[in-house]
Amino acid sequence: MKDTLKYFTLMTAAALILASCSANGKKSDAYGNFEADEIIVSSQANGLIGFLNIAEGNTVPAGVVVGAVDTVQLVLKISQLKIQKDIIRSKRQNIEAQMEVVKEQKANAEHDLGIFTNLLKGSAATQKQVDDITAQINVFDKQIRSISTQGTSIKDELRSADIQIDQIKDQIEKCYIRNPIDGTVLTKYANAGEITAFSKPLYKIAGLSEIFLKVYISGDQISSIKLGDSAEVMIDSAVGAIKKFEGTVSWISDKAEFTPKIIQTKAERVNLVYAVKIKVKNDGSLKIGMPGEANFNAK
């Protein structure tokens, strides 16, 4: 009885394996492993990491602030520049007041010049009096130009302070670590309380909603494959079962290379092959590094 049961079990397993092989139908055109577009997020500021709220395996949406570098010194610098701006504005007010005084003096001198010019015509004033008033008006014009130059310099100082404030605000914004893409954190390189520096890696993230199967094809296959072609991607989902996905050829290498060591299904490992990436929508079952196979132009 036990032998009969054992025989029945072996026959059933064999049937399942044969059914699985039949589902595949034929040997696949190419083999490889799954990859994803990985991004290493680096610090854009120097200082103490105040917080970094991520963990390996976390799914993080794009644009979310996941961490921050200390901004105290930058905020204090802005406060200092704002005080400088107040001092510069007070100088501008003094210059504007000086300008009004000189303009008033010039207007009075021009009024006197008109009077003495008329008196000179009636011989009631001398030419020297007219010349003295004219010279005085010229002095006032020079003073106005000098004060105007000072005013321009003050405006430049204010613009310079505004630019410095904008630069520091940009630095403060870069202290906040914003996640660049919707994805899964693969590796975390830093933690809160550590000192970081500009361009120092903080974590690595990959978008896994779409994933790529990187396969290698022979030279005689390359001519029949082009960008945008459909492909059938397959993985092992259970013992003897095959799970299929619809994929699209998204990249074809323009250079041949020797068959990589990770490809164990090629009979002739010394042959030159071309790398091809097939883009696949991920339902959550595809992982980076997982092996897969593909059929091109599958019917």
What tens-digit pLDDT sequence spans the chain (299 residues)? Answer: 444 333 333 333 333 333 343 344 567 889 999 999 899 999 999 999 999 999 998 999 999 999 999 999 999 999 999 999 999 988 888 888 888 988 899 899 889 888 888 888 888 888 988 888 889 989 988 988 888 888 888 889 999 999 999 999 999 999 999 999 999 999 999 999 999 999 999 999 999 889 999 999 888 888 889 999 999 999 988 767 889 999 999 999 988 877 665 555 545 455 788 999 999 999 888 988 899 999 997 55
| Pairing, β 195-196 against β 47-52 | antiparallel
Q: What is the DSSP string of 9-44?
A: HHHHHHHHHHHHHHHH-S--SEEEEEE--EEEEE-S
Between the alpha carbon of residue 298 and those of residues 25, 237, 244, the distances in Å are: 11, 20, 11
| pLDDT for res 46 | 96
Indicate the fold that domain 29-39+207-296 takes in CATH: Elongation Factor Tu (Ef-tu); domain 3 (2.40.30)
- Cβ atoms of 253 and 275 within 8 Å: the answer is yes
Strand partners, 31: 293
Global pTM exceeds 0.85? no
| 41-71+176-202: CATH number | 2.40.50.100
Which DSSP symbol is given to 230? E
